[in-house]
Each structure stands twice: as C-alpha cells, then as structure tokens.
Amino acid sequence: METVQIGQPVPDFSLQAGGEASFSLSRLRGRKVVIYFYPTDDTPTCTDEACSFRDYNGQFEEWHTTVIGISPDDVASHNRFAAKYELPFLLLSDPDLAVCHLFDVWKQKKLYGREYMGVVRSTFLIDERGVLVKEWRNIRVKGHVDKVLQAVKSI
C-alpha cells in the first residue's frame, strides 16, 4: 500500500472506535480533519498530548475541524483512556497497523539503547476535500497543538 503524500487525497479507511462498529474517514468529507498518531493510551506524554487536543477541541470545532487520535491499543483501552480524561474526540484502534503504515508512522525506535518498533508521534491535517495539506512528524508535545490550530486557521 502506498503512503500518504502532501497534496494528495488520503485514501478512505475504516477503524474500530469506541461505541461504534467502525468509523470511516469518508464520513468527515466536507470538514477539516486532524489525525494524531500516538504510541499508547495513558502514558505521561500521550496523556499530555490527548489533554492538549481536548483543551483546544472547542477551537478546532469553531474552525469546522474534527480531531481523531489513532494508536494500536484496543477499543477497551481507548474507552478507559477517553473516559478518564474526558476526551471529546474519537480514539481509533489500529491493531493490525494498516493505517499506521498508510501514514508511515510505524518505525524503528530507540530508548535507552533498546531498539523496537513503535508509533512515531505524528499529526496530519486533511482539508475538506480529503487532501493531506500538512504533516508534523516526530513531534514534541509542548506547543504542538497550538501550531496545528494555526495551520487549520490558515487553510
């Protein structure tokens, strides 16, 4: 499968979401979409990132933008995480990594000298026509959501 490219339409995909059988990206055509990939639920950095998107969610909504988080964790884990931190957006489960591969965020990582495969924290902005217009890869959480919101406002 090809990976997404800036300036190109993002292929439709369907993933499991809490409380739903599945969620398809095509349901959001006509709205801007921010998709952020994160390694796992309920870890300190992933929690900071999710809570930052939560805190800005109203502003994203004002700009007709839907925020979605994606990780390999299962739906039950996502449901607990969303409930614990009152996350107002969908968290999608990608256990077979198909969408992670589509966005090329499943990479070899290194921590304390140990190498392993995992999700590289990344964010993608899709316009109302379904075209990828901006990407941020290997991000640092502090100040990131503000940069994403500014990009949303600029398109």
The per-residue pLDDT for range 11-40, each reduced to its tens digit, is 999 999 876 568 999 999 999 999 999 999
Percent of the chain beyond pLDDT 90? 88
pTM: 0.94
For this structure, is 51 an active site residue? no
CA distances from 111 to 24, 72, 96, 107, 117 (A): 34, 19, 23, 13, 11
Per-residue confidence at 113, pLDDT binned at 50, 70, 90?
Answer: confident
Catalytic residue among 4, 35, 46, 90: 46
pLDDT digits 0-9 by tens, 115-126: 889 999 999 999
Q: Which of 39, 41, 19, 17 is closest to 28 using CA atoms?
A: 17
